[in-house]
A = this chain, B = another copy of it.
Amino acid sequence: MHSVFIDEIDAQTYAEHVSRAGSTIIIPAGATEQHGPHMPLGVDAMLSRSIAGAVAEKTGALVAPALCYGYKSQPRSGGGNHRIGTTSLGGNSLSQMVDDVVASFIAQGFENVVILNGHFENYQFIYEGLDNAVARSRAAGSSARAVLLSYWDFVDEDTLSKVFPDGFLGWDIEHGGILETSLMLLLHPTLVNMDRVIDHPPAQLTTYDVFPEDPSRTPPSGCLSSAKGATAERGELLFTTVTTQVADALKSELLLGNITLEVN
């Protein structure tokens, strides 16, 4: 059985990959978070894992188990941490976990570590853990490199205009919106129920955060914009663009070979 996911391959197959020039591990990062009434809690990890898988196929990389718990959902990008369905890590817990996992992969011999983020609020805390792990590893003689990215940052203008024909308002309010729903319709259609989409205008958010959170400021749907325009076709457009662009970026950054892996 062929697989790029390391939880599905054995240690010998894994060892062969690690020993190759340009060996690369991609760690998907998600969250356990409400995504409106029409999508399941695991959207962020599912999408980052699927995208990582496709990128790995294109680049000869392997994919590690996803980080399934993420940093606190924020009202301005995820609806808020107070919402039912949202289970979060503190910032330092997330950074420490990333640091340990990345240092572990570097110690095993990977030349490149990529973290492919699928939960907006994770980015800075992953940055901290990744920066520390790479700095420490290199101080100890390793020449490992790393890349951190959020997959939506690879959607180009052309795709944007096709997926958001009425205008694109920013990734921060895409929580539970057209981007994620279209991708889920493509990749995990049985887990989406478009009948339950609540159609409301984009959330009008403050330009600042208040503590404690004020549940009345974000839409009751838990989404920051409507998923009504989501389709599997738009999902495919997004998926193709993102996986191609990410793969191209990684190839040029990390000198990846094109390797086919066969699992026992």
Measured CB to CB, the closest approach of chain B to A18, in angstroms, equals 7
Q: Output the residue of A11, A148, A209 with the most chain B CB within 10 A.
A: A11
**Given A66-B68, A91-B92, A100-B88, A8–B191 Cβ distance below 8 Å?**
yes
Q: Flag if A12 contacts B37 (CB, 8 Å).
A: yes
Q: Are A69 and B65 in contact (CB under 8 A)?
A: yes
Q: How many residues of chain A get a CB closer than 8 Å to chain B's CBs?
A: 90
Q: Inside 8 A of A34's CB, which chain B residues have their CB? A: 10-11, 14
Task: Give chain B residues whose Cβ lies under 8 Å from the Cβ of A66.
Answer: 68
Is the CB of A158 closer than 8 A to any CB of chain B?
A: no
Whether the pair A91, B91 counts as a contact (CB closer than 8 A) is yes
A22 close to B (CB within 8 Å)? no
Residues in B neighbouring A15, C-beta threshold 8 A = 84-85
The stretch among A51-59, A124-132, A224-232, A233-241 that forms the contact with chain B is A124-132
A17 to chain B: closest CB distance in Å? 10
CB < 8 Å: which of B74, B87, B91 contacts A108? B87
Instruction: Fill in one digit per residue for A27-59: 1 if any B CB lies within 8 Å of its CB, else 0.
Output: 000001011111111100110000000000000
Considering the chains assembled together, what is the distance between the CA atoms of A100 and B105 in angstroms? 24
Is A253 positioned at the interface, with any CB of B under 8 Å from its CB?
yes
B-side contacts of A32, CB under 8 Å: 6-7, 64-65
* Known contacts A89-B101, A93-B99, A134-B212; 12 further A-B pairs (Cβ under 8 A): A5-B42, A6-B40, A6-B42, A10-B35, A10-B38, A10-B193, A11-B35, A72-B128, A86-B104, A87-B104, A87-B105, A207-B249
